[in-house]
Amino acid sequence: MADKSKPIFNKRIFWDVDFENLHYDTKANFIIERVFERGDVADIRNCRRYYGHEKITEALLNAKFLPEVTMYLASAVINKPVTEFRCYKLRQLNPTLFPY
């Protein structure tokens, strides 16, 4: 079985890390979360193609934090309700007083 070719992401997604030395397999959860948070449609497609549905679903459902917009996007992409997301459950445990 041939190795999967690494996806090409826009470097702006990883502006704060050493992009050239990013290990795609050992840092998979970080990469998936970051691509969904800051990437565009092409980046998300490349991410899904490389990691597959199961890995993407696992990483997003278990993320400690995702911005609300990202959480709803991820919910639509992986076809799971937001109530199954760990970050949603954590947010319910610590509601803000004035959410505006």
Q: What residue ranges do the domains of the chain occupy?
A: 25-93
Residues 58-98 have pLDDT tens digits of 999 999 999 999 999 999 999 999 999 999 999 888 776 66
CB 48 within 8 A of CB 56: yes
Residues 74-83 have pLDDT tens digits of 999 999 999 9
Residue 100 has pLDDT above 50, yes or no: yes
Element (H, E) at 70: helix 68-78
Residue 2 has pLDDT above 80, yes or no: no
Mean pLDDT of 1-18: 81
CB 88 within 8 A of CB 82: yes
55 secondary structure, DSSP code:
H
- Please state, in angstroms and rounded to a whole number, the distance separating the CA atoms of residues 75 and 55: 14
Instruction: Please name which of 38, 35, 34, 47 lies closest in space to residue 6, comparing C-alpha atoms.
Output: 47
